[in-house]
Chains A and B, each alone.
Chain A
Amino acid sequence: MTTQYDATAAMEIVNASAPGAACVEDGVLYLEPALVAEAIESLRDSEESDLIFLCSLTAVDQERHFEVVYHLQSLDLNHILAIKARLTDREDPTLPSLTGVFHGAHLQEREVYDLFGITFEGHPDLRRMFLWEGFPGYPLRKDFLQMPGQIRAGLPGFPHESTENAWPVPGSVPQRPQHPNDPQPPSVLAVAEDGEESS
């Protein structure tokens, strides 16, 4: 059975190589964003933690800050550790890339960049992955867009758009971008810049 690795033990390993990089809050290991790559490398290389497998890398928009969540696994010792890093700058969230430590971080960091707009410094190929270059906004942010029938409030339109082209408020009849009644569909869906490499 996979056990949870003790966050305090992990904090000691991290702080031995990068002092002040880690702290434990409510049993969860939080890393200083600027030192994420060194800290995780020390956890990977330490024989006690042996966290050599990056299970998952994702982010959560906690509204006041972004939280990047790493799940690391040891295959021999069979324990798992969840590690988090808080990014308080919503305008330009930046974090060192983990690609130098784990090759498997390449695609997952690109996905987080695509959907959250978090920049990973040092990533060799940081581009949009699912959406096209130039897509306005980052969909998994909580303030991205107010969709019809949404439980939580979001922005009334795409960030670059005037409110005239905005999606309707919940309760009214949703008018889709390609609706025949719509005289001018939102420009966002008109052209996929890199769709078939025509440029």
Chain B
Amino acid sequence: MTTADDTRSMMDDSRLAMQGTIEALDSGDGSEPVVVNLGPQHPSTHGVFRLKVTLDGEIVRDAEMRIGYLHRSMEKLAEERTYTQNIPFTDRIDYLAAMSNNLAYCLAAEELLGVEVPPRANAIRVMFAELQRVASHAMANGTFINDCGAWHTPLFHMFRDRERVLDMFEMTCGARLTTNYMRIGGVAFDLPDELLPTLEQFLADMPENIANYEALLMENEILHARARGVGVISPEMAINSSLSGPVLRATGVPWDLRKANPYSGYEDYEFDVPVGEQGDCFDRFLVRMAEVKQSLRILRQVIDNLPDGPWLADVPLHARPEPGESYARVESPRGELGFYLVSDGGPAPYRFHCRPPSLINLSALKEMSIGGTLADAIVTLGSIDIVVGEIDR
């Protein structure tokens, strides 16, 4: 019986052999490179994103991204709205992780205003940030496997879990995608009565679902062949390129802001930081799968230790912070999501900057893609897990 390791080494050998052949052909036949535009409307790009690749046969020689199709000028718009009015913008920056974006922005605004968040609000924030991570990783892994060629079946299985998370968002704040749930000083509403039983049921069902995905995917030869050794990046290069989140952790760097700089009471919860070994696409997939399990672990602890009390601090709706600045960041499903706010004492931020992990994780896309095949470049792009709303803002 062939094990996954055998398959992997076989595929590595054949890939090297193939590249060698093409490079040998390259030297003398006078062929010209072909430029192919992937996107802006292309199923592999997960949004309005254009990747311009220069191909030599099937090998990528250059990759250049063209972005801006979804630019909505949020940083400019936010300078004209009050701190509270800006919260809905953050939903739309990363529409697959609206809760994490709400949280990061509120943390930055709270740092400017010096607001103390009540314990129950912190617990609810952690609960929804982790639910959002489960939902976002379901989407990330599903679409990644889709890009690897498993046409929609794993994606729809994972969407089933994501759907249940979105149902919980809906019963709490009325919205599924653009939640606008967090507020400066806490959250907008307390938990509804039906949420905790639903969440208990979700936590009871998820381990079996994850075991199913693992049985389906972990030893899958095709997935190994498509993702092992593809889009490799070294830890040094990853750090130098400012990569963060699962892309950085897949290279073996255990950098997680929930551990390194705990916010909203993450220091009270026990969880591990899963890391990869080789920094390839398959490790990114594994890290996300493992993170979902850790998120479920955190959710269990949040439910067991949910404090009573107020869920929103007393903050004026049109707060005017003292002149100053703040840079607050959270570990969003895609990496380090930071908000840099500058106040001049007025009702609106003087400067509103979002540090977008989706954009900055693309810093090394060219280096990851060059030398591989075009199909590998698409898998690499899928494994980085971009959200175009966050890239363009």
Binding site for B on A (CB under 8 A): 1-2, 52-56, 58, 60-61, 69, 71, 75, 78, 80, 82, 102-108, 111, 115, 128-132, 139-140, 144, 147, 149-152, 197
Contact = CB atoms under 8 A, between A and B. Distances in A.
Given A103-B363, A115-B75, A139-B76, A56 B353 contact: yes
25 contacts: A1-B267, A53-B239, A55-B327, A55-B338, A56-B353, A56-B355, A58-B340, A58-B353, A60-B342, A60-B351, A78-B260, A102-B240, A102-B241, A102-B242, A103-B237, A104-B241, A104-B360, A107-B362, A108-B242, A128-B68, A130-B68, A130-B393, A132-B68, A152-B80, A197-B37
A1 B346 CA distance: 31
B243 interface: yes
Contacts of A69: 340
Contacts of B392: 130
* Best-buried of B37, B355, B360 by chain A (most CB within 10 Å): B360
B255 interface: yes
A151 B346 contact: yes
A151 B76 CA distance: 12
Contacts of A1: 261-262, 267
B255 A82 contact: no
B313 interface: no
Contacts of B364: 103
B67 interface: yes
A89 to B, nearest CB: 20
B350 to A, nearest CB: 7
A75 B255 contact: yes
A34 to B, nearest CB: 23
Contact of B239 (A52, A80, A144): A52
B329 A55 contact: yes
A149 B77 CA distance: 11
A154 to B, nearest CB: 10
B71 A55 contact: no
A55 B355 contact: yes
A53 B236 CA distance: 10
Given A56-B327, A102-B240, A108 B71 contact: no
A144 B80 CA distance: 13
Contact of B71 (A75, A104, A105, A131): A131
Nearest to A82: B327
B50 to A, nearest CB: 9
A152 B353 CA distance: 18
Interface in B328-379: 329, 336, 338, 340, 342, 346-348, 350-351, 353, 355, 359-360, 362-364
A167 to B, nearest CB: 13
A60 B241 CA distance: 23
B71 A103 contact: no
Contacts of A61: 351
Contacts of B267: 1
Per CB-CB distance, the 4 closest pairs between chain A and chain B, nearest first, are A104-B242, A130-B68, A2-B261, A130-B71
Given A151-B80, A151-B346, 4 more contacts: A58-B355, A102-B240, A111-B359, A130-B68
A58 B327 CA distance: 12
B348 A54 contact: no
Given A60-B342, A71-B338, A139-B73, A103 B241 contact: yes
Contact of B242 (A55, A60, A131): A55
Nearest to B359: A107
B129 interface: no
Contacts of B363: 103-104, 106-107
